[in-house]
Amino acid sequence: MNLTRRKMIFLVGGGAVLAAGGAFGYAATRMPQTAYLPWERAGSYEDPRMRALSWALLAPNPHNRQPWLADVSEDGVITLHVDTDRLLPHTDPFNRQIVIGLGCFLEVLRMAAAEDGYRAAMTLFPQGSNATALDQRPIARITFTADPAVARDPLFALVPARRSNKEPFDTSRPLAPDMLMQMALAASNGTRFGGTVDPAETVKWRALTREALRIEVETPHTFQESVDLFRIGRREVDANPDGIDFSGPMFETMHLTGTFSREMAADPTSFAFRAGMDAVYANADTAMGHIWLVTADNSRETQIATGADWVRVNLAATALGLGFQPLSQALQEFPEMAGPYSQVHERLAPDGGTVQMLSRIGYGPVVGNSPRWPLESRIMNV
């Protein structure tokens, strides 16, 4: 994570600033050594399927769980499975968000294959699916066929620059309404795109998303699911390059001095918890607009299509220089979230349908990559 002014205040307020000299100073400034290598290695494989997969694993996904497993044992074919050890049973009890993340993965894979001159023909859920759970059955079977005439997608060039920006946005910079139209054009897989940059509407969405964040954090079992996925310091991030990354000089210092830990983060009476909540609320409160995707049904196939459109909209926002962060807590289906869930659907889908994704947008600081597992760790039958 980048050391923003807000995080520096967090650090100073916590009393963790020390004279960083000698071995301590060196350790505090170290960054993860291997967790970001997949970003550098994308596209560097000989097998066109591996090349496409190496780009696809850079796709956004909930809690950075990276729940994909690829079987490449059949020539010219990828069979995609979900890693059932990487689900989010508390915040995503029906695995809807996980499937959307798999849809993001498949769309980047399709774009990468086309860029390389291959058509990736996909058969979704070839052995069927379960509407409320995921199992060992494949998510998709993708057949690669060389096709020099396959259309390249201009959004693919934005894949290395795409981010989920979890920093406060610049509230002095309003967004132009025509930006919404440009993002809407990117959604081409059947979802209904919507959004607002109207200040009065944005204030309402700030309040709703703030309340949903509060509920998720103050519900013990849902917040603990996130805390268990905290990776604090470079060693933890390198050892498990998934989940929620707390690396960089500030968190390295706090980790080394014992002023930040998972236990402290989960304790509502601790400074770490209160400061963390302030930072989370600052993100919701500095949204300069919001966008969403709505679908007529909620089938697994539709969730895959949602993921495809979601990553496309994210890439279009990247092209516009916008910060983009999903704030989908209000869309989660655990019982304690029933109030915000109903409010969102009353506003955006009053005649029926499912609000699949919700994000804040605005101008934000430059942020770094999220950690990724190496591609080889996501290949089955090796």
pLDDT digits (tens, 9 = 90+) for 340-358: 999 999 999 999 999 999 9
Using DSSP's 3-state secondary structure scheme, residue 145 falls into strand
- What is the pLDDT at residue 28? 57
- What is the pLDDT at residue 284? 98
DSSP string for 320-354: TT-EEEE--GGG--SGGGHHHHHHHHHHH-TTS-E
pLDDT digits 0-9 by tens, 283-309: 999 999 999 999 999 999 999 999 999
Q: Which residue has the tokens 């983009």?
A: 324
Give the DSSP H or E segment for 319: helix 300-319
Amino acid identity of 176?
A
Record the tokens describing residue 65, joined without a space.
């769980």
- What is the pLDDT at residue 1? 43
- What is the pLDDT at residue 29? 61
- What is the pLDDT at residue 15? 45
How many CA atoms, within 13 angstroms, populate the side-chain half-sphere of residue 244?
Answer: 15
**Which stretches within 169-299 are classed as H helix?**
178-184, 199-218, 220-227, 234-239, 249-257, 262-266, 271-285
- What is the pLDDT at residue 87? 98
For the chain, which residues score pLDDT lower than 50? Answer: 1-3, 5-20, 24
- What is the pLDDT at residue 18? 40
Amino acid identity of 67?
P
Q: Which residue has the tokens 């205040």?
A: 9
